[in-house]
Amino acid sequence: MLTKKIKAFTLAEILVTLALTSIVATFSFMGYTLIQKLLKQYNDQNFFITQINALNNRIHLMVSQHGTILKESENKFVFSSDTTLSFITFNNNSVLLNRFNKTDTFKLKPEKLNAQFEPIKNPDWQNKMVNAFEFDIYFQEQRFHLAFNKNYDAYSKLLIEKENKTWLQ
């Protein structure tokens, strides 16, 4: 009788293959987890950059388009021109821009809000007419400093010194 030789894997070969496969699967899962973490950080950073650039552009636009900037309260500024009023409010976890009865919310955490005032002779307007304000925004332990300046001409200051705006008081 002829004997057939059966071709098969030995138990040792199967165990080595199983061990190598589990090591490869473990490293694959670790790599996948790392890629997910990096993608989340990238998305968070991209969202932050988009938000801070949009906020910076809109505030610069408001500063250039409006005639005066007035401090209404500790964290609220009023931008006024001949035809429109716009507001910016700094909350603990967001910055709100209200313009043309539409509010934009920026999910940024402003800190160290500081305003500098235009010297005005009218005592009702002292410490209200802002010529510069600045604040910091932190993202992953990095500080981003935003500063805005408003230059008033002599005619605007003269009008403010004589005029009494009741909507601010």
Whole-prediction pTM value? Answer: 0.74
Q: How far apart are CA 50 and CA 55, in angstroms?
A: 9
> 166 pLDDT band (50/70/90 cuts)?
very low
CA dist list (Å): 28 to 5, 24, 25, 38: 38, 6, 5, 15
DSSP string, 53-91: HHHHHHHHHHHHH-SEEEEEETTEEEEE-SS-EEEEEE-
12-50 per-position pLDDT tens digit = 999 999 999 999 999 999 999 999 999 999 999 999 999
Q: What percent of the chain has a predicted confidence (pLDDT) above 90?
A: 46
